[in-house]
Structure 1
Amino acid sequence: MRRRLMPAPPLPPLALLLPLALLVTACAGNSAAGTSTDIDGHGSLTLNVGDQKGGSEAVLRAAGELENLDYKIKWSTFSSGPPLLEAVNAKAVDIGGVGNTPPVFAAGAGSKITAVAAFKGTSRGDAILVPNDSKLTKPEQLKGRSIAVAQGSSAHYQLVASLKKVGLSLDDVEVKYLQPADALAAFTTGKVDAWAVWDPYTSQVLLSRRGRVLTTGDGVTNGLSFQVAAPAALKDKEKAAAVEDYLRRLRRATAWVHDHQEEWAKVWAKDTGLPYDVALASVKRTNATRFSVAVDKPLVASEQEIADTFTELKLIPNKVDFGDFVDTRYNGDLPPSTTPARTSEGS
């Protein structure tokens, strides 16, 4: 059944698109920490938490989960996962949230990191986009085409996996390694044939009617994100207890989003500068599908597949045993990582 496409309206002003460059929750980049804020709690212990714009602090606050703390929280804001994990490795951050690919690259670099909690959602927001007037209708047709993607990102792996599914490899396409702001410009000006990216960029392009989905990562990638801690913090009895409490609060806040999608979208839009309709579309497609899962053997195997893929591509220099970089002490009675991702009503 064919859908008639409406003429594309003018692109939103660049000022509306720039906030999206801050939202690289999935992925890559070289940005350092931004401003830090403190959350006062009872007691003398301070938990140093790495965050990304519109991330853990915002959702915890919106869900009312930053009240009655027995410890203080010092937030450090990063624009992406890799520099956040560099801070974890340097013991400047005790714990922080990243997507499914940065931990693999950090492990490959021999960083001192430990994945202590995982969240699973659909991968429908991870997409390969093409312009509305593109002649491409299926991923098999990407052969010989130029594709923008952020190197070392979850979108990078999604691109590799999506190509593999249809019998292609990175050697069959022209990869343009571009960070999101540059990729967005290249995509909207026709300098690349496709763009492998994640939400909320996916929602931005779709709502501005400047592109459509060629394929998504749903059923191709694992849809995981992680809380990653510094091993030194986990060896400290008091900090390990604070980490446990923090993870409980974050899990409750993540569950809260599912039943408060409009409310969370308003908070997220205000915190990041995203247009509300883009924030809501991203929440429905991606954020509200997330739930806590155990850090278990199938999860390790899934991340190991990502690690092996990038090792074969010679983007990770050494063999990685991802099982050496996890700690299962906080699993409790969480569902297994193989539990199917839930869908968000109305998405």
Structure 2
Amino acid sequence: MKFASLDFTRRQITAAAVGTVLALAAGSSALAQAAKPASLRIGFQKSASLLTLQKAQGTLEKRLQVLGVPVQWVEFPAGPQLLEGLNVGSVDVGFVGEAPPIFAQAAGANFVYIGNDPASPEAEAIVVPKDSPIKSVAELKGRKVALNKGSNVHYLLVKALEKAGLKYSDIQPVFLPPADARAAFERGAVDAWVIWDPFLAAVEKQSGARLLADGRGVVSNHAYYLAERGYAQKYPQVIDALFEDTVAQGRWLKTHLDEAATLIAPLQGLDVEIVKLSLHRAQFNVQPITAAIAAEQQKIADTFADLKLIPKPVRIADALPGARKAVAAR
């Protein structure tokens, strides 16, 4: 059964998780499947609200206790840095936006996609200060625009400029991680900022930042769960437990937004109302990767290759679990 070609309904998610395990485990020895890892090291960002909730509630630890596998949480400021951690072996799994895996794959990182959170186009946007004279994306020509290089908003910026009749080369990108970008934005060192939730919700609520455009009608803004390829192949039962817990907690979050926001807010250092806004704009409906989702990701990869943002073209299919033999053979 090929993981990338499956198409699931929501009620089939549990069965899909089993399919994921089978795909990841194919070709592994019985001994490898039975082996127990020293731990599950999860790369996360405080902005990853669902993982932050899981960490706060300890639900994954309870599931993995049965397998005798402890959980370690390793925090990163953003997706590109998290993928660097995955590439050098400091974490086993991670959750990032749609662009970081492409940059990482182009750099030779050895990972597989194990799941995705459906499209959340409202959860990322291009913003300007409330008193800025800039009224449209077209007016960004020649302006300084802050963003985290290689993050999900990198693609939003490219496509929003394209929709406005501009090229990426028409603006001056200023690459900064979220905290530094917020500081530059508020002191007027940049003209606009491309950012995702909950940083987006925070700058809207706290600084009155004005939206020029979000992802609606421009990009899908998927988010992805990734695993180091060797770990996923050796320990499919751990990946299965992670998937099941993420599905369960995602459903709980969407039906208990107020309670979830109260738990998450102090961990993100934000007001509850800011967190509620960010939670409202995300799906938290974790699903396996389908062929259609992989095709969307390939379009992003091709765009980045055309713009020379990555050093070489990449094939998203090479980072799907069923492709591991073909990759190893090259």
Per the normalisation by structure 2, the TM-score is: 0.79
Is it true that 1:257 corresponds to 2:231 in the alignment? no
1:121–1:223 Cα contact (<8 Å) kept = yes
Matches within 5 A, 1:104-183: 104-183=102-181
Among 221, 225, 228, the residue aligned to 1:227? 225
- After superposition, the C-alpha distances for 1:188-222 in whole angstroms (9 at most, x for unaligned) are 22222211111122212211243211110123222
Letter in 2 for 1:99: G
- After superposition, the C-alpha distances for 1:297-331 in whole angstroms (9 at most, x for unaligned) are 221111111111221222211110111001279xx
Is it true that 1:316 corresponds to 2:310 in the alignment? yes
Aligned to 1:52: 45
Letter in 1 for 2:215: G
Alpha-carbon shift at residue 84 of structure 1 (Å): 2.5
Distance in 2 (alpha carbons) for counterparts of 1:79 and 1:127: 18
Pick 1 or 2: higher relative contact order, CA cutoff 8 A, min separation 6: 2
Give the aligned length: 283
Residues 48 and 188 of structure 1: CA distance in aligned 2, closer, same or farther (over 3 Å): closer
Structure 2 counterpart SS, 1:124: helix
Distance in 1 (alpha carbons) for counterparts of 2:208 and 2:159: 25
2:118–2:285 Cα contact (<8 Å) kept = yes
Is it true that 1:215 corresponds to 2:210 in the alignment? no
By percentage of residues, which structure has more helix?
Answer: 2
Alpha-carbon shift at residue 128 of structure 1 (Å): 0.7
Alpha-carbon shift at residue 44 of structure 1 (Å): 5.7
Identical columns (%)? 34
Is it true that 1:245 corresponds to 2:238 in the alignment? no
2:80–2:151 Cα contact (<8 Å) kept = no
Alpha-carbon shift at residue 181 of structure 1 (Å): 2.2
Unaligned runs of 5+ residues in structure 2 are: 1-34, 324-330
Aligned to 2:16: none
2:144–2:192 Cα contact (<8 Å) kept = yes
Letter in 2 for 1:158: L
Aligned to 1:270: 266
Structure 2 counterpart SS, 1:291: coil
- After superposition, the C-alpha distances for 1:57-79 in whole angstroms (9 at most, x for unaligned) are 53225566333432322332222
Distance in 2 (alpha carbons) for counterparts of 1:198 and 1:232: 31
Is it true that 1:304 corresponds to 2:302 in the alignment? no
Residues 262 and 307 of structure 1: CA distance in aligned 2, closer, same or farther (over 3 Å): same
Distance in 2 (alpha carbons) for counterparts of 1:200 and 1:68: 28
- State the Cα RMSD in Å: 2.2
Letter in 2 for 1:228: L
Aligned to 2:194: 196
Provide runs of 4+ in structure 1 moved above 6 Å: none
Structure 2 counterpart SS, 1:292: coil
- After superposition, the C-alpha distances for 1:144-189 in whole angstroms (9 at most, x for unaligned) are 3222222111111111111111221112222222222222122222
1:143–1:172 Cα contact (<8 Å) kept = yes
Structure 1 counterpart SS, 2:240: helix
1:130–1:136 Cα contact (<8 Å) kept = yes
Residues 149 and 82 of structure 1: CA distance in aligned 2, closer, same or farther (over 3 Å): closer
Letter in 2 for 1:188: E
Alpha-carbon shift at residue 111 of structure 1 (Å): 0.9
Residues 82 and 263 of structure 1: CA distance in aligned 2, closer, same or farther (over 3 Å): same
Structure 2 counterpart SS, 1:290: coil
Is it true that 1:285 corresponds to 2:281 in the alignment? yes
2:112–2:319 Cα contact (<8 Å) kept = yes
Letter in 2 for 1:114: V
Unaligned runs of 5+ residues in structure 1 are: 1-42, 330-347
